[in-house]
Structure 1
């Protein structure tokens, strides 16, 4: 793509929404979200025919505005930045022939974000299995965006009650212990600490750190990762004025009586973090990638092929993701 010439304050720029997997619920939740997000300047990067067919399929009454590089969006329209590659429209089933358009949509959004032409990006869910079988070398959006941005990132899940991050992301449980080390934990906590200040306007964050083993390892009797890795990392951070509490047993970290005690929590692996946050509020969860040079949020769910095309998908997680991206953009702008 050629360089664009847009120059506005970050929070006033439009949000770029990526297409994700066309065979899932993405077009349905996007169309359902329109009324809620209409006042938020945004556009979607996709094959226009996919949206046109989706509008007809779901019997919506709205027109499309095709964007050029000036990104002149129109209110009460679906603003579309076209992909060069076309999409095969078939709800309920993935098609590998759509993979290049899916990646093109993400890459365009990253380009616009890194060049400060959009306030951030919101990524609709992808079907990782198809992409990986087709040569995609990343287990998910988080890792791919970190690679594209050449930065260390952190997966943060949030809703109105919690912010939870993970040290490791999309790896097997059998590899979690060997993946943990002192420097990795320090790096992830530093990213989280800075993000809480810059992205959420929390001046003195208090972060709770989970253990890896049951009962925080029982002083080494049920594993030594706490003694040999986590505790040394936390001691180092405390010496550098980072307010970390732990390691705390994971089974009491999300007690309903202490939900407001910490500004954020850091877990050692994926399901430690996602089970409690999805249990508390499944439909309003937001996935935020902290540590990138640009803002990225995403709905906290997958492609849901089993309900695609049935007009029963809940758009709330997408709505929350779009609203949260704009809030973070305003916070970053005021932070400077």
Structure 2
């Protein structure tokens, strides 16, 4: 590999028929991006070329067959297949899901072997990617199994970080899934990430209520008083600055979230609906708690606009910069804690 101290950013290509390739190309239209990192896209130059032709995009890419050939001054495409792939832009197909998985698996293997420093995942279709090798509701769960650790999905901007106590599960299963053990685990993961990934020494974390109005003392549900509130009290006894439960509507409506370093929502849409209303196009999905850094843009495959040159790359760009910064923060934390241990 071309010698460079730049961070090597691995990029999984996402669904071949979606907007993933478009936002990747648009991100690196600005050659100044190469000053911050060495990109390695896991896919095939033929697939990239097909999208370039449709989009009339002139971004130059550098095809390689092994990670060792990556050039720090170019946009590298690691060719992991030679097949003639049938691309049908704007349509979810079994083929586009199959090759999205090939890209993701190769990128994750390189990440595990530390041949790339961080991973950015372009959007997949959670239905057509399902197979014997991918039987998960999303990236987060797949990465947890492959990389180890206790994952926590965090949607983030500079001023808002929302993690999910429960993730990709049916709403009918949320109440029975929320236990003291799960809440405690997610708080611990967010607390540790805020310290080592974000450099916040004493993070303040808010936990949202499950029921409207925190259950109104049992009138609208007992979970907040019987499970969430006692668990928060027990966590507080360990010295962590954890508060709640907060009724979600007032919490966001009154901008209370600005008083905290992290927020834990009890279920997917409770956290993501307000997040995307406040931050769509600027947000980043970060998987905390894993052995390596992974981020992604806050949008999906965008089939409805794929191939029309309408996709905006702002969220992918934020995912790129965030991954680089988180990697640096984590490396700095490792050095600081190593030095602390050596002086004891």
TM-score (structure 2 length as normaliser): 0.91
Aligned partner of 2:210 in structure 1 is 212
For the residue of structure 2 that corresponds to 1:157, the secondary structure is strand
Distance 1:259 1:181, change over 3 A: closer
Deviations 1:151-206 (A, max 9, x none): 21000001132100010111111110011100000000000000000011111000
Q: Paired residue for 1:83, among 80, 84, 90? A: 80
Q: Distance in 1 between matches of 2:231 and 2:111?
A: 33
5+ residue gaps, structure 2, are 335-344
Q: Is the 8 A contact 2:21 2:48 kept in 1?
A: yes
Aligned partner of 1:335 in structure 2 is 333
What's the CA shift for 1:111?
1.5
Q: Paired residue for 2:18, among 12, 24, 36? A: 24
Distance 1:109 1:6, change over 3 A: farther
For the residue of structure 1 that corresponds to 2:252, the secondary structure is coil
Q: Distance in 1 between matches of 2:217 and 2:191?
A: 27
1:254 maps to 2:243: no
Superposed, which structure 2 residues align to 1:297-316 within 5 Å?
Answer: 297-316=295-314
Q: Is the 8 A contact 1:64 1:78 kept in 2?
A: yes
5+ residue gaps, structure 1, are none
Q: Distance in 1 between matches of 2:325 and 2:91?
A: 34
What's the CA shift for 1:222?
1.3
What's the CA shift for 1:134?
7.5
Q: Is the 8 A contact 1:154 1:191 kept in 2?
A: yes
1:61 maps to 2:58: yes
Aligned partner of 2:339 in structure 1 is none
What's the CA shift for 1:130?
1.2
Deviations 1:193-232 (A, max 9, x none): 0000001111100001100001111122211111221122
The number of aligned residues is 329
Q: Distance in 1 between matches of 2:293 and 2:155?
A: 14
Aligned partner of 2:34 in structure 1 is 38
For the residue of structure 2 that corresponds to 1:131, the secondary structure is coil
For the residue of structure 2 that corresponds to 1:192, the secondary structure is helix
Q: Distance in 1 between matches of 2:290 and 2:148?
A: 9
TM-score (structure 1 length as normaliser): 0.93
Q: Distance in 1 between matches of 2:46 and 2:257?
A: 45
What's the CA shift for 1:8?
8.4
Q: Distance in 1 between matches of 2:50 and 2:279?
A: 32
Distance 1:88 1:38, change over 3 A: farther
Q: Distance in 2 between matches of 1:169 and 1:8?
A: 38
Q: Is the 8 A contact 1:50 1:88 kept in 2?
A: no
1:318 maps to 2:312: no
Deviations 1:104-137 (A, max 9, x none): 2111211222222222100000011112378731
Superposed, which structure 2 residues align to 1:1-336 within 5 Å?
Answer: 12-36=6-30, 37-39=33-35, 40-67=37-64, 68-75=66-73, 77-84=74-81, 86=83, 87-132=85-130, 136-336=134-334
For the residue of structure 1 that corresponds to 2:78, the secondary structure is strand
User: CA-atom RMSD, angstroms?
Assistant: 1.9
Name which of structure 1's ranges 54-63 and 159-168 shifts more when overlaid on structure 2: 54-63
For the residue of structure 1 that corresponds to 2:68, the secondary structure is coil
Structure 1 runs (4+) deviating above 6 angstroms are 5-9
Q: Distance in 1 between matches of 2:275 and 2:229?
A: 25
What's the CA shift for 1:256?
4.7
